[in-house]
Amino acid sequence: MSDQPKTRETKRVSLLELFKASDWALLMPYAVGGYPDKESCSRILKAYQESGADLIEIGIPFSDPLADGPVIQAASTIALGAGITPQGVLDLAREATAGGAHIVLLSYLNTILAYGPESFFAACRESGVLGVVIPDLPVEEAAELQITARSFSVDVILLAAPTSTDARLARIAAAASGFVYCVSTTGVTGARKSLGAGVPGFLARIGEHTDLPLAVGFGVSTPDQAAEVAAYADGVIIGSALVDLIAKGGDLGSGLESIRQFLTETKAAVDAAKRG
């Protein structure tokens, strides 16, 4: 008999089930795992959950995060300097899921390969992680990793960009599972004053090829922008704006209070927009 922990087995839901169970867009805040330190990050994740997060994304810090803008890069550097490891992030995920949170990870491919794909996805399963976003994994190279992940009931989340051709979007949609991470604009992560006017059309293009949920990230940074996205997407991902609140909070308590206020307002705006 396996000696693997079996907690959460009877409560585990898939990402697809989570999206289908909601009548409005899921609010998906992002946190840099281990930032500003492991204990503080645990408190941040708890604040996310208490403020209405439907699904929390935790990034595993990486030394060369090609898709991340300056705010998340700086936070990742601090977390790495504080000694966070992929296992440490998995421990944070396990703690959060034990408290009832739904968790996906964001990890660059080299981190997973260094850990060992089978061991990594087994650890994800044991920690209650539902899926892993891999921003530098092209669809052409995803199949083998997806097979491994699915053997542990973990989804590999693929990204789609507005610059993709219709043929490429069709290929991404055919290979995707869980949900499709739709990048709102070209470039790296970071708060923006406005979202691209072409986002609804971009989602419509992807929607021609899949019935999977579509979650929008990169640049969503205000409650109004989140509500705008919620009107036509299934998930709203907010990262840099939240990480920046901690960075500029002065102390953790002030940062947590700012996070709670921001997410409470954003959750209300997202729910009202979708219901409307």
Catalytic residues: 57, 68
3-state helix, strand, coil in the chain (%, to 5): 45, 15, 40
Q: Amino acid letter at 10?
A: T
Query: Which residues pair with residue 32 across a beta bridge?
Result: 59
**Residue 105 contacts residue 93 (beta carbons within 8 Å):** yes
Distances (CA, A) of 218 to 91, 96, 221, 234: 26, 24, 9, 15
CB 158 within 8 A of CB 176: yes
Q: Report the distance separating Cα 263 and Cα 223, nearest Å.
A: 8
